[in-house]
Amino acid sequence: MDKRVYELLNDQINKELYSAYLYLSFADYFEEEGLSGFANWYEIQAQEERDHALIFRNYLHDNGCKVKLLAIDQPDKEPQSFLDPLEMSLEHEKYVTSLINDIYAAAAEVKDYRTMKFLDWFIEEQMEEEDTADEMITRMKLFGGDAKALYDLDQEYAARAYSMPSPLAAEE
Ligand code: MG
């Protein structure tokens, strides 16, 4: 595998684990604020991010590349309102999209069609992540000011259940 493509893929393991850490910190924020449904939503989100890290890890293993785990940064965002974590999530997912695009571009440059195909799932996933984050912002802006509506929203997010991302499930 091309050295730069390899390094970007290996780095992405770390970025996805950081995402998990960041979303866990948002789950903590909502837990402390008494919105345990939102906390549940972010706990599951964190689990999915760890899964993303594993998908990159497995891909490197499947291609005979050595995985090098790096130190995970401390989450650096401190929400001050219910809207904050949601807006920070959208901003973060846009950043992750740019990282996936960078890997794709590096793979395209060296005609690494296998890695491009592997990344297709993440390209679609990022569209969903941004769409979901955007929707949560809209709903919080619409309903966050009303206690009963916020309670209902929290109940809805409490119902989110974990399901393993398909590339990881396929490996089982
Ligand atoms: Mg991710």
Q: What's the per-residue H, E or C state across the chain?
A: CCHHHHHHHHHHHHHHHHHHHHHHHHHHHHHHHCCHHHHHHHHHHHHHHHHHHHHHHHHHHHCCCCCCCCCCCCCCCCCCCCHHHHHHHHHHHHHHHHHHHHHHHHHHHCCCHHHHHHHHHHHHHHHHHHHHHHHHHHHHHHHCCCHHHHHHHHHHHHCCCCCCCHHHHCCC
**Cα-to-centroid distance, 148 and ligand 1 (Å):** 32
| Residue-level pLDDT at 171 | 76
- pLDDT category, 170, cuts 50, 70, 90? confident
37-64 mean pLDDT: 98
Ligand 1 centre to CA of 143 (Å) is 27
pLDDT value at 53 more than 80: yes
What separation in Å is there between the alpha carbon of 60 and the centre of ligand 1? 17
Tell me the pTM. 0.95
pLDDT tens, position by position, 97-149: 999 999 999 999 999 999 999 999 999 999 999 999 999 999 999 999 999 99
Res 172 pLDDT > 90: no
**98 CA → ligand 1 middle, Å:** 12
**What spacing in Å lies between the alpha carbon of 112 and ligand 1's midpoint?**
22
pLDDT at 56: 98
